[in-house]
Structure 1
Amino acid sequence: MGRSTDPPHFYVYQCFFRDLGVCLPFTQFECDFLNFINATPCQLHPNSWGFLRAFQVLCTVLGIEVSLRVFLHFFPL
């Protein structure tokens, strides 16, 4: 367990940044999604991050707004 003087941090899979193209700081969509499901970045499997990234890329290519509202319209939880 970390000391109370350690800065806030979280652990992630190595492929998170290397293979999936996730960057810090997170996009507003990624933050909104994590808040909506009440999870931390390390609680999502890499495939879930890949799915979120693919959704963002597809929306950008199609000129559709990337938002949690749009995501939940197509993929209700």
Structure 2
Amino acid sequence: MGGTSNPPLFYMYQCFFMDLGVCLPFTQFECDFLNFVNSAPCQLHPNSWGFLRAFQVLCSTLGIGLSLPVFLHFF
């Protein structure tokens, strides 16, 4: 098994990319949230990703900045 290293990976549902519009690489807001909850992307339920995406779309539509504390207040 000499010296070959496998790159890190994680499994995700296909609906994340096709239905929810999650893209790689993750946005800074998504990374901040994952770090805050200390979870890997695959550990969040698709509904949680839906809340994240909906909040990002809402903030973008209203022209306000993304805020993790505000998201956590409503989540």
After TM superposition, the score normalised by the length of structure 2 is 0.88
| Cα drift, residue 7 of structure 1 | 0.3
1:65 counterpart residue number: 65
The amino acid that maps onto 1:48 is S
Is 2:28 the counterpart of 1:18?
Answer: no
| Cα drift, residue 10 of structure 1 | 0.5
Is 2:36 the counterpart of 1:36?
Answer: yes
Name the larger-Rg structure: 2
Moved over 2 A (4+): 72-75
| RMSD of aligned alpha carbons | 1.3
Tell me how far apart the structure 1 counterparts of residues 42 and 32 of structure 2 sit (CA, whole Å): 15
The amino acid that maps onto 1:49 is W
Tell me how far apart the structure 1 counterparts of residues 46 and 73 of structure 2 sit (CA, whole Å): 23
Deviations 1:42-68 (A, max 9, x none): 000111101100000001101111121
Tell me how far apart the structure 2 counterparts of residues 14 and 72 of structure 1 sit (CA, whole Å): 26
